[in-house]
Structure 1
């Protein structure tokens, strides 16, 4: 099995696990972004412009998109998990199926948002995915992404890849983006996270 086939197999396993867990996940996560998350989203909108269009990959239950839309931007909500899109549809929100590994992202967008999503991209596919995201941005467009901090990866139902801050920052810059800010925080269960804000050069 080649690298892409292995990556797709791991991705399908993770998506399947989320299909079964989506409703429970929806109950666990905050329905409103916390203050730190709101500050990051506001910085993204400041670059995108309030008339901008943002692509959100891995929208999940859709509450970050709700917050962004309340600030005036348009959000293309996408996820690889159908059940998450059904949960959003039940709230009157439209989302689309999108697989980062195989699908064209469209664009150009004023910003791309990927919070706690690229942790599921196999390590040997991350450069291609970041290049695809960079290519979907307009010049001057912004990219906001959060990644689990650490080494190695987990291979359970949810394949999760951990990245050290400097290693992932280097991948962002290799994709042709300019890193303008990063923040470190502890999430649920004392998980460590790095959040990166980058822009495509104008």
Structure 2
């Protein structure tokens, strides 16, 4: 049976975790500062797609407690070998755990099919305490595409615009605060950063928009863009 794009992407990360880490900047993503500006020291954060772990390390250094997770067991194994607690978490899961003060999803949700994003966001919201925050980033654009950048095996991406992301957030029960372009100078591709709050919602507890059933969590830590201006990746 042919793999779905999400499962194929996850398999690419499983096979290429070390290669990916070697080809990705070690500087924290800009979304780290975005989150730190919105939570108190000691806040408990769920990170979806920890990858090599650079953003989690920066958040922990600032006094936050991070639950490191990834859909690829290869990344989780590497994090554990480095002395960190980490767990495999697939966004097809019905429950992410919690409650957390924040959910951090840098360069992760771009692997989720368009029709499934609201369901994943709803699961993330249920893991977040009332008043908690979501900080996430996705690639800006139209449609979807495959790339072999960084890894020998192809990865699949879904592109978004601000209007579509805002609609998906609201459908999942989040209250969007900012959904804005955050492309850095010299970046190969354009990006959008999302900031949203878990305010009172009409979405019933345990309810979520329908998902297609073939969704796999394949996200990363700072996957495909430069962490600072003037240092672009060769290709996202």
Counterpart in the other structure of 2:157: 160
1:119 Cα deviation after fit: 0.6
More helix per residue: 1
Q: Which runs of 5+ in 1 are unaligned?
A: none
2:122 to 114, 121, 131: 131
**Larger RCO of the pair (alpha carbons < 8 Å, separation 6+):** 2
Counterpart in the other structure of 1:180: 177
RMSD over aligned CA atoms reads 2.1
Counterpart in the other structure of 1:23: 18
SS at match of 1:185: coil
1:189 Cα deviation after fit: 6.0
Further displaced range: 140-149 or 13-22: 13-22
Q: 1:22 to 1:94 in 2, by over 3 A?
A: same
Q: Which runs of 5+ in 2 are unaligned?
A: 148-153, 201-236
1:48 Cα deviation after fit: 2.9
Counterpart in the other structure of 1:201: 199
1:174 Cα deviation after fit: 2.2
Q: Distance in 2 between matches of 1:190 and 1:43?
A: 22
1:9 Cα deviation after fit: 3.0
Normalising by structure 2, report the TM-score: 0.75
Is 1:117 matched with 2:112?
no
Q: Distance in 1 between matches of 2:18 and 2:38?
A: 33
Q: Distance in 2 between matches of 1:188 and 1:89?
A: 34
SS at match of 1:167: helix
SS at match of 2:182: strand
Contact 2:34 2:135 survives alignment (8 Å): no
1:187 Cα deviation after fit: 7.9
Is 1:33 matched with 2:31?
no
Is 1:143 matched with 2:134?
yes
Tell me the alpha carbon deviations over residues 110-142 of structure 1, each in whole angstroms, 9 at most, x when there is no partner.
Answer: 000001111111111111111111111111100
Counterpart in the other structure of 1:48: 39
SS at match of 2:67: strand
Report matched runs for 1:69-80 at 5 Å. Answer: 69-80=60-71
1:158 Cα deviation after fit: 1.2
Contact 1:48 1:54 survives alignment (8 Å): no
Counterpart in the other structure of 1:9: 4
Contact 2:94 2:123 survives alignment (8 Å): no
